């Protein structure tokens, strides 16, 4: 069975050897925010050469038809992001991965002025 928690830890610890093992050899990875498509080797290189030391935790993992959906919080001493990812699986290997990154920030002023909503968590 595909281990989403292990996948997240292999990404944030930049464990290239383990990361490759999560993918089918011909998998396609898409980062829609920056309009980039990667091979497995390119994805591993991009993750493992990404600057900084990262930490992460899975927020939610859901089995979906043909794969898994994951929401992850990742952070370094410089930035924090949430990642929504949708992985298609075959034989417990990722064949296609779509990742969407968000920057963490405050609500915009116009919404604060409405005096609605409340924090989800302390930051």
State the average pLDDT for the chain: 94
pLDDT of 116 reads 93
CA distance 70 to 38: 19
pLDDT of 123 reads 65
pTM recorded for the entire structure: 0.89
pLDDT of 12 reads 92
Q: 118 pLDDT exceeds 90?
A: no
CA distance 88 to 70: 11
Q: What is the pLDDT of residues 14-71, one digit of tens each?
A: 999 999 999 999 999 999 999 999 999 999 999 999 888 999 999 999 999 999 999 9
Q: What is the pLDDT of residues 1-10, one digit of tens each?
A: 899 999 999 9
CA distance 32 to 35: 5
Q: Find the distance separating the first CA and the last CA of the chain, reported in whole Å.
A: 34
Q: What is the DSSP track for 1-32? A: ---HHHHHHHHHTT-HHHHHTTEEEEEEEEEG
Angle at 54 between CA 105 and CA 96, to 5 degrees: 90
Angle at 70 between CA 66 and CA 74, to 5 degrees: 155
Residue 82 and residue 71 in contact, taking contact as beta carbons nearer than 8 Å: yes
């Amino acid at each position: 069975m595909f281990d989403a928690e292990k996948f997240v830890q292999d990404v944030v610890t930049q464990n290239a050897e383990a990361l490759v093992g999560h993918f089918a050899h011909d998998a396609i990875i898409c980062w829609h925010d920056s309009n980039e498509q990667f091979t497995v080797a390119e994805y591993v290189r991009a993750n493992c050469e990404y600057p900084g030391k990262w930490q992460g935790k899975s927020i939610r993992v859901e089995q979906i038809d043909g794969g898994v959906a994951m929401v992850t919080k990742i952070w370094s001493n410089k930035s924090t992001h949430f990642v929504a990812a949708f992985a298609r699986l075959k034989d417990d290997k990722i064949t296609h991965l779509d990742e969407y990154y968000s920057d963490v920030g405050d609500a915009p002023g116009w919404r604060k002025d409405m005096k609605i909503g409340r924090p989800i968590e302390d930051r």
